[in-house]
Structure 1
Amino acid sequence: MLIDIHQSDAQGNVYTLRQDLYVDGLTVPAGFSSDGASVPRFFWRLVFPPGDQKALRAAFVHDWLYRTHPDGWSREAADMLFLKLLISDWMPKYRAVLAWLGVRLFGGAAWKAGRQK
Structure 2
Amino acid sequence: MQDKNYKFELKQPLMVPIGPIKYKLVEEYTYYWEDEQGVINRITVPEGIETDGATVPRVVWTLSGIRPDGLIRAAALVHDWIYVNDGNPPDGSHTTWTGTKEEFFEFYYPNREIKSLTDNYGSKWVDDNRAWSHRQADKLFAQMMTEAGMKDFRVKIAYVSVRLLGWWV
TM range (shorter): 0.7 to 0.9
Q: Deviations over 1:9-48 (max 9, x none)?
A: 1x2x111111111113111110111101111122113151
Matched, 1:14 2:25: no
Q: How far apart, in 1, do the equivalents of 2:65 and 2:81 lie?
A: 21
Instruction: Determine which of 44, 50, 59 is the counterpart of 2:68.
Output: 50
Q: How far apart, in 2, do the equivalents of 1:41 and 1:66 lie?
A: 22
Please report how far the alpha carbon of residue 4 of structure 1 lies from its aligned counterpart in structure 2 after TM superposition. Answer: 1.2
- Between Structure 1 and Structure 2, the one with more helix by share is 1
Q: TM-score, normalised by structure 2?
A: 0.60
Instruction: Determine which of 19, 29, 36 is the counterpart of 2:53.
Output: 36
Q: Which blocks of at least 5 consecutive residues in structure 2 are unaligned? A: 1-10, 33-41, 89-128
Count of aligned pairs between the two proteins: 107
Instruction: Determine which of 128, 136, 145 is the counterpart of 1:77.
Output: 136
Largest Rg, 1 or 2: 2
Does the residue aligned with 2:135 lie in a helix, a strand or coil? helix
Contact 2:83 2:167 (8 Å CA) reproduced = no
Matched, 1:2 2:22: no
Contact 1:47 1:96 (8 Å CA) reproduced = no
Q: Which blocks of at least 5 consecutive residues in structure 1 are unaligned? A: 111-117
Matched, 1:107 2:166: yes
- Between Structure 1 and Structure 2, the one with more strand by share is 2
Q: TM-score, normalised by structure 1?
A: 0.85
Percent of residue pairs bearing the same amino acid type: 32
